Structure 1
Amino acid sequence: MPPSRRDLLNTKKGFIVHKAVMEVVTVKDILAARELIQRFIKLTPVLTCSEANRIAKRNIYFKAEHLQTTGAFKIRGATNAVMKIKSKYGLDHPGVVTHSSGNHGQALACAANVAGLPCTIVVPKGSPSCKVEAIKGYGAKLVECFPSPTARVETMEKVCKETGQVFVSPYDHADVIAGQGTIGLELVEQIPDLDAVLVAISGGGLASGIAMAVKSVRPECKVYAVTPKGKMLEDCLRAGERLWPNPPQFLDTIADAIKLQQTGFNTFTLLKELAEKNVFEMSDEEMIEGMRFSFHRMKQVIEAAAGAAVAAALSDKMASLPAEIKNVAVILCGGNADIDNFPWYDSFKKAY
């Protein structure tokens, strides 16, 4: 069985922290990923909105990854990882496993289904039903766990031991990071004079991959992370070290896709080098307004994580960016919103 290149470290306090063995991701890896996955994914469009430009006083370009296969950018990294496994080992392989709140789980299940490999997804209890049902629809085996980062890792480790399946991290796997970086290659082709990118971040695979790709072509382009309240990412980036408390925890946010407080180990190393130190922290209320703006002004259905990035672009915080930043890309990272539980649904019912 091929090694997963992952260590599970027992800390002195008795909890388990998932730590990745350091893996170097290069632009060459991203270019190779693009070649490998291009027939399995969509080249997503860049959308514009005059009202967004007016509010932001800049040119805002929305990269529509919510229109991607499986409804989120995650299919890029998952497909790259799975297809590399298949190309090396063929179908004589026990398959893949991951833990995911939904989008990576859907993506890995879909990629494994296409490749013909077995797949198990560890899902925290309470994950959005639309994502859970989609995972089942791709034929993956579903295993529920207690909704905490530690429980996710413990359950995933158990599956690995029982099945021999290889863990594909939602964010800290080199092939996943490279796959997500293909978005950056598309961005600099679609927006040649790109000055900045706003990207919502959880474990950091998307942000670090995009930063690596974009800066290889436009070193002056800035990449800003967008997070829920309490992530502490700006403190960590400015200090140049991981200041997060352990055990790892989830943030109290409506954005289920970006609720993990800590980033990955590989991704944090890349973000320290490539991302801007100032981070856009958005409240739940601001995320909701970002979603509503997208629904109302752009007629696009996005989930709360994408709403965070939209809200950041339309916020007063944009005024603090250098004046020379004129062209800003916003990653609409996913559209798998639970339509039965929109965050403003209760107030809507009361009004009507």
Structure 2
Amino acid sequence: MTKISIADVLQAHYRIKPFLPKTPVLTSSTFDAMHGRKFYFKAENMQKTGSFKVRGALNAIIKLQESGEPVKGVTTHSSGNHGQALAWAASKCGLKCNVITPHDTPNIKIRSIEGYGASVTLCEPNPTSREETCQRVTMETGYSFVPSSDHYDIMAGQGTIALEFLDEVPNLDAILIPASKGGMAAGIAITAKSLKPNIKIFVVEPKGKDLERCLIAGERLWPNPPQFVDTIADGIRIQQLGKLTWPILLKLAEKEVFTADNEEIMRGMKFAFQRMKVVIEGASGAAVAAAMSDRLRKMDDSIKNVGVILCGGNVDIDQLPWYKGK
């Protein structure tokens, strides 16, 4: 079913540990009282480059260099967070980097990519343009392509989140994980289920992804070509899970999926800003919204301790979504 195991995650952990901090786990007694369970927020928004993505990017680059094959540079397509992560990781490993990103990506993310020393190539804001532009640039530069999610080395790196989380909070009963193509969700699912088989893995999505219908059917029911859904959570707007992440999540994730619309995402972001004093982006807001949801409130009372992945904090504070009338 899969070519990734807990052993790969442990190797990734030791590979990236010298470069990256252990992110904190935040709690809020106010949030717990409002929503009826004990919640633990894994603050990946405080990770290097402002998101979890650096874990997978760094693991993938170091593995490339360990292979013994010459690596001229690395390239990828990204809506921002993976691009920043790859740019930072490449700089640490002494490699050149080019990132293809949609022209509507928040400026803060583009500036950060360039700030880490990478070059940026803009493309149209759809998955097909991203992939075609990246293929062209990869051929022109001779760089190695490092995907954002759908790669076992990326998943292994993201799985290190669960190693830390269950070490910090071993009594977790469930984890809420925002998903785009699903690299983080798959990595966390493999790791958490290996360490604690009864833990529940819930995927969080923006409205329009329609993942629950696919999981229940056991089929990829999404249209082709892949689309972006209409959401303020730009980091999770790709509609389809990856081809490698799909079978992992089909097997390990719960069939119930938490869906957040723009208003709910903003409500989650605002709570984090105002009450927890942390800056989070829309994808993280979706995870907070899932924790706030009636669906979770109505679930089995045996789910007492819930982990919430605050996957990133790269939001443009000059363009906050509630100021734009969305």
How does the TM-score come out when normalised to structure 1? 0.91
Partners of 2:294 and 2:24 lie apart in 1 by 27
Contact 1:149 / 1:249 at 8 angstroms: preserved in 2?
yes
Aligned match of 2:111 in 130, 133, 144?
133
1:62 corresponds to: 41
Deviation at 1:29, TM superposition (A): 0.4
- Hey, what's the Cα distance between the residues in 2 that align with 1:124 and 1:341? 17
* CA contact 1:202–1:227 (8 Å) conserved in 2: yes
Q: Which residue is equivalent to 1:175?
A: 153
Deviation of 1:88 (Å):
2.3
5 Å-filtered alignment, 1:153-232, equals: 153-232=131-210
The aligned length equals 325
Question: Once the 2 structures are TM-superposed, how far is the Cα of residue 28 of structure 1 from its aligned partner?
Answer: 0.6
Alpha-carbon shift at residue 111 of structure 1 (Å): 0.3
Q: Which amino acid aligns with 2:4?
A: V
- Given that 2:291 and 2:308 are in contact with CA atoms closer than 8 Å, whether structure 1 keeps it comes out as yes
Which one of the candidate residues 10, 35, 46 is aligned to 2:25?
A: 46
Q: Does 1:115 align with 2:85?
A: no
Task: Report what 1:144 is aligned to.
Answer: 122
Match of 2:62 among 79, 83, 92: 83
| Residue 325 of structure 1, aligned match among 303, 311, 316 | 303
Residue 94 of structure 1 aligns with which residue? 72
Deviations 1:216-253 (A, max 9, x none): 11100001011111101101111111110001000000
How far did 1:319 drift? Answer: 2.1
Q: Does 1:344 align with 2:314?
A: no
How much does 1:56 deviate? 1.7
How many Å separate the matches in 2 of 1:175 and 1:161? 22
Tell me by how many angstroms 1:346 deviates: 4.7
Q: Deviations over 1:22-69 (max 9, x none)?
A: 961111100000000001111001000011101221100000000000
The offset of 1:345, in angstroms, is 2.0
Write the distance in 2 (CA, Å) between the matches of 1:185 and 1:320: 28
Gaps of 5+ in 1: 1-21, 348-352
Q: CA RMSD in A?
A: 1.1
The alpha-carbon deviation at position 85 of structure 1 amounts to 1.1
Corresponding residue for 2:83?
105
Match of 2:9 among 3, 8, 30: 30
C-alpha distance in structure 1 between counterparts of 2:125 and 2:73, whole Å:
24
Q: Does the Cα contact within 8 Å between 1:65 and 1:72 map onto a contact in 2?
A: yes
Q: Which residue of 2 aligns with 1:283?
A: 261
User: 2-side partners of 1:75 and 1:36: how far apart?
Assistant: 13
Deviation at 1:89, TM superposition (A): 3.1
Distance 1:199 1:87 in 2: 30
The yes-or-no answer on 1:261 pairing with 2:255 is no
Residue 222 of structure 2 is matched in structure 1 by: 244
